[in-house]
Chains A and B, each alone.
Chain A
């Protein structure tokens, strides 16, 4: 596979469930991101990992927990979510430290519905 892949593509979970979203990038990049995309709102940057170290956490509630075991994989662990957390969750990657530093490559997203 090439590019950025995300699984699952669709997820329905209750408020008491625990689930995880997975992202994998096959581009050799060293930075990975989680974004939340809600209808009629700008993309919200949630987390940034650079060289496996978390460098950004934009005041995201603790019910979202990221994990980056290596530069190719990124997880978002979910627990006790709220209905307003229903959204499309996008993963992206980029190669930092080059002239293309700001070009981010996105996965297809996971459509999350919290019931």
Chain B
């Protein structure tokens, strides 16, 4: 079945550091890929998405490129802020409708 693997956290970075959170997936067909973010005390919010190979999703300075050859969708940001501290979830949707498979989440902590 479909699965998503993302790097274990927590990830601790200083403000303005470069961020990479790795995500790889296994899926049948051609899935859509997503990054969701969960701030403390809140539900998940869609951060960005990509629906086909080589697409780049971007939002709020975050980017991720759909790499079919490596089945990856790594999240990057050039300069993190304290306000980016949250849990980040990689997810995919393929095959049957409404089915979204989530990774276990990676907690990011940015210190001033």
B98 and A55 form a contact (CB under 8 A):
yes
Partner of B43, one of A40, A50, A101, A109: A109
- Bound-state Cα–Cα, A111 to B5, Å: 26
**Minimum Cβ distance to chain B for residue A88 (Å):** 9
Q: Does A53 sit at the interface, judged by CB under 8 A?
A: no
Show 30 A/B contacts (Cβ-Cβ < 8 Å), sorted by A. A4-B43, A40-B104, A41-B104, A42-B4, A42-B103, A42-B104, A43-B44, A43-B89, A43-B102, A45-B100, A48-B98, A55-B98, A56-B98, A90-B43, A91-B43, A92-B44, A96-B98, A102-B34, A102-B93, A102-B100, A103-B34, A103-B46, A103-B49, A104-B46, A104-B100, A105-B46, A106-B36, A106-B45, A108-B42, A109-B43
B98 and A106 form a contact (CB under 8 A):
no
Give how many A-B residue pairs fall within 8 Å (CB-CB): 54
